[in-house]
A and B are shown apart, each in its own frame.
Chain A
Amino acid sequence: MGALAGIKVIDFGQMVSAPFCAKLFSDYGADVVKVELPEGDAARRAGPFPQDIPHPEKSGLFFINNTNKRGITCDVSSAAGRDLFLRLVDWADVLIENHRPGQMRAWGLDHEQLLQRNPALVSIAITPFGQTGPYSAWNGYDLNAYHLTGASSRYCGRPGEMPLEHGTFSADYFGAVAGATWGAAAVYGRAQVGGGQLVDVSCAEAIAAAFTGGQNIGGVAQDGIYDKRTGVGMPQGAPATILPCRDGHVWMLTLEPGQWKGLKKVMGNPEWADMELFDDMFMRAQNADIIYPFIEEWCMQHDKMEIMEKCQAAGCPITAVFTVAEAAEQPHLKARDYFVDMEHPELGKLKNLGAPFKMPASPGGPTAPAPLLGQHNAEVYTRLLGVTDTQFQQFQSEGII
């Protein structure tokens, strides 16, 4: 039995943030019904698709973020559709959504109303900017949220060149995780606090607080001083950055004296490494212009896995920069069953990322593939909500379901 068994969840989200948040509930045992508009979650149109041929049932993004959920369709912009949605709200413990606040209001589904209707509901809203504040009405996506946090300006890119995000939906994932944690706690403590509540997550705010804020805001407020990106992993110490090697890149990180000694040994104790100006991590950082070319020259003669294995054995926290393929084929992760085999009616047999953490007494992780569009309409509407067969057929013919 999953840890969250017995918790009933509506996933009314699309793309990454709300669906991934709801997937954390479903993969750990909650009963999650995903509600899609008739055209389907935008992730169905986002890919990646096999051979890049778009197909609403073959999106990799939809597949990975919607495991273990039942799926229904509902046109909430129609009166009958809205009514069906509200009946589902009566059933649910949790609603997870990521629409713009104005959109929820336009549908007549704003959180105040939903909480009035079901006072025990925990309503998790995950949006780029949140439900309140001057930017709450803004149009925005993951990209806009991430770059509003100082994270790119401070921590990623070369000085003077454009600041960078991670190459994935990092703000969406951060917000999803914050929503899952706070939302799950709100469900757990519902009796204690006297009912359900709105859990308002702004992806931008979560990062601007817990990542960039935590590290920087005290200093900014007190001294008015702050830093910007340097393009170097950690300018205060050296070596501490990504360097190229013969077949790719390594994260070259050697700070403590024992680590530096270990790296020197792996490099064959070259003469240059014993120069006084490389004595400690701070001096090495001051002489970064001199030391990095030396180390890079050595790296370029070796492969990343070899560097990683030898340096790790010598006590250095040096790792290869794995490509996605290398990360996906790691023996360590295979031995931990992090990759799981799944079968999907349209995609066939394929591998998936497994549970993000292991709970021996209540195992989690994906077992059932993401639902086809409207796959569980009959089951959810007739059995769960008690819609009669005649009504059901009528809703279908009217395009509400």
Chain B
Amino acid sequence: MSKALPLQGIRVVNFGWVWAGPVCGQTLAFLGAEVLKVESYARVDMTRNLPPFAEGKPGPNRSLSNNACWAGNGSVSLNLKEPRARELALQLIAQSDVVIENFGPGVMEKMGLGYATLRGVKEDIVMMSMPGTGLYGPGKDMRTYGLSLTSTTGLDSLVGYKGEGPIPVENAYADPFNGIFGGFAVVAALQHRANTGEGQHIDFSQQEATMQMVGPAYMDYQLNGRVAGTKGNEHPLNGAAPHGVFPCTGDDRWISIAVVTEQEWRALVQAMDNPEWALQAKYATLQERVSHIDELHAALAEWTVHYDDRQLTQQLQEAGVAAAPVLSIGDLLDDPHYRARGTYIEVRHPLDYDVTIYGSYVKLSRSEVEVKPGPIIGQDNDYVFKELLGLPEQAYRQLIDDKVIY
């Protein structure tokens, strides 16, 4: 293991806000890039004021979720309503490789930071735009939040109890998904730049990236004209039965069980001690089990409900059955697997409090990833304005007094 990281030497200016854009920056930062978020006290990002706060004291640098979701990003404070702030941003971009933003289409242009302008100061810049529905097209100005964006991809129509209407997913799965996915687009563009010397402006529509997850149901529509609906936790392609979560002892405890192969089915039946019901012909093959899946699931639930989720998992895994406990949020921190993999780490925040965030969720065998908590607003101002841009002390102070650097 060494400190050398693959994207070391890459500088990213991140105008991303809320969640997806900051995660895109974070992804590149974990991989070694220097990522500087541009933000301002003039308009503090709403996620900086989301409770709970460190030590219970509210403040834009103390939101625990923001500390985690923005980890890895640095921060430069510029009030972009000021023309001088825009000039400084452009000077920074002239020394950078990548610019990220997730505003609506046209917002960067309005701020005088459109791709044509950026190219003017840095010809091979990689500009990563990740608006909700893309940079062009009749629906480009569609208003969505990450929470509901999925409704325009078909994904939400697949979530719910079998045969009922859709159940909302209560947070924006698409945001971290697209933030990480966006990292791939940026790396691909850097690779293209390495191959050809060319930069480019990526049009990353979060709607289209998210809709890739609907691929299997999309194919059923193309091939059979069939429109998939809700089916609980059943296998999206009827490729497994049983396939669901089943109750265990205790309050809101469940176990997930997925049986794909005949070998796994025999193992499950044996683990249940060969009950009469499971030996019936109607459960003899996958096809039969899929045809009788409601009955099958009901019978299996009557068995699992007498067991502890973790003990039953152990027992089923020993038999070769794919089973795992359904974890609540409260189970995550002390889960032995996540403990062993260092999924969550406690770090010291520069404001002198300890905060638990997630660490490097992918393990690299050669490169050691160092994770720092999300930034204090403007924490990298000195470095950027004095060292990188070479502002004299007096001019720097003046810009702070004038709330340009703010």
Contacts and interface: CB of A to CB of B under 8 A. Distances in A.
Contacts of A316: 143
B399 interface: no
A217 B327 CA distance: 13
B173 A166 contact: yes
Interface residues of B, number: 156
Contacts of A353: 211-212, 215, 218
Given A138-B324, A139-B264, A141-B240, A3 B191 contact: yes
A243 B183 CA distance: 34
Interface in B324-363: 324-333, 336-338, 340-341, 343-344, 346, 355-359, 361-363
Contacts of A48: 216, 219-220, 223-224, 226, 237
Interface in A47-106: 47-52, 60-61, 63-65
Contacts of A16: 216
Given A177-B184, A181-B181, A218-B357, A153 B326 contact: yes
Given A249-B166, A321-B166, A50 B365 contact: no
Interface centre among A64, A312, A362 (most CB of B within 10 A): A362
A220 B195 contact: no
Interface string A166-189: 111110011001111110111111
A315 interface: yes
A163 B246 CA distance: 10
Contact of B216 (A150, A168, A315, A321): A168
Interface string B52-76: 1011100000001101110000000
A228 B328 contact: yes
A148 B320 contact: no
Interface in B147-170: 147-149, 151-161, 165-170
Nearest to B373: A218
Nearest to B326: A147
B356 A192 contact: no
B331 A150 contact: yes
Interface in A307-339: 312, 315-328, 330-333, 335-336, 338
Nearest to B359: A209
A241 interface: yes
Contacts, number: 550
A336 B69 contact: no
B317 interface: yes
A184 B236 contact: no
A200 B338 contact: no
B248 to A, nearest CB: 11
Interface in A325-382: 325-328, 330-333, 335-336, 338, 347, 350-362, 364
A234 B171 CA distance: 8
Interface stretch (B227-235, B376-384, B385-393): B227-235
Given A185-B187, A193-B4, A361-B198, A134 B230 contact: no
Contact of B328 (A131, A135, A154): A154
Contacts of A133: 336-338, 340-341
Contacts of A233: 147-148, 168, 170
B202 A216 contact: no
B394 interface: no
B237 A47 contact: yes
A178 B362 contact: yes
B152 A201 contact: no
Contact of B176 (A131, A211, A354): A211
A399 interface: no
Contacts of B239: 45-47
A327 B152 contact: yes
Contact of A217 (B158, B165, B333): B333
Contacts of B139: 330-333
B45 interface: no
Contacts of B23: 210, 214
Contact of B200 (A208, A210, A359): A359
A263 to B, nearest CB: 12
A283 interface: no
A151 B332 CA distance: 11
A50 B223 contact: yes
A244 B192 CA distance: 46
A278 interface: no
A128 to B, nearest CB: 8
A271 B336 CA distance: 56
A199 B52 contact: no
Interface stretch (B35-43, B79-87, B88-96, B253-261): B253-261
A147 B254 contact: yes
A145 to B, nearest CB: 8
Contact of A164 (B64, B67, B232, B365): B232
Given A139-B317, A209-B343, A178 B180 contact: yes
Nearest to B259: A141
A243 to B, nearest CB: 9
Given A162-B232, A332-B137, A173 B177 contact: yes
B364 A186 contact: yes
A144 B337 CA distance: 14
Contacts of B328: 150, 153-154, 226, 228
Interface stretch (B5-13, B106-114, B271-279): B5-13
Given A178-B361, A327-B152, A357 B254 contact: no
Contact of B144 (A169, A173, A319): A319
Contacts of A177: 177, 180-181, 184
B356 to A, nearest CB: 3
A213 interface: yes
B237 A61 contact: yes
Contacts of A158: 161, 167
Nearest to A140: B322
Given A46-B239, A144-B322, A215-B65, A168 B214 contact: yes
A231 B167 contact: yes
Interface centre among A49, A184, A210, A234 (most CB of B within 10 A): A210
A118 to B, nearest CB: 14
A130 B27 contact: no
Nearest to A223: B52
B82 to A, nearest CB: 25
Contacts of B252: 153, 160, 228
Nearest to A182: B362
Nearest to A143: B258
A209 B222 contact: no
B137 A61 contact: no
A225 B191 CA distance: 44
B159 A188 contact: no
A249 B165 contact: yes
A1 interface: yes
Nearest to A111: B365
A260 interface: no
- The 5 lowest CB-CB distance pairs between A and B, nearest first, are A189-B6, A218-B64, A60-B219, A167-B158, A332-B139
24 contacts: A6-B195, A45-B239, A133-B340, A135-B324, A141-B260, A143-B322, A154-B329, A156-B168, A166-B173, A166-B213, A167-B230, A169-B213, A195-B366, A206-B362, A218-B67, A226-B329, A324-B220, A327-B157, A327-B211, A327-B218, A335-B137, A350-B222, A359-B185, A360-B203
Given A64-B216, A142-B258, A184-B187, 7 more contacts: A3-B192, A141-B322, A144-B323, A213-B344, A251-B148, A324-B228, A356-B181
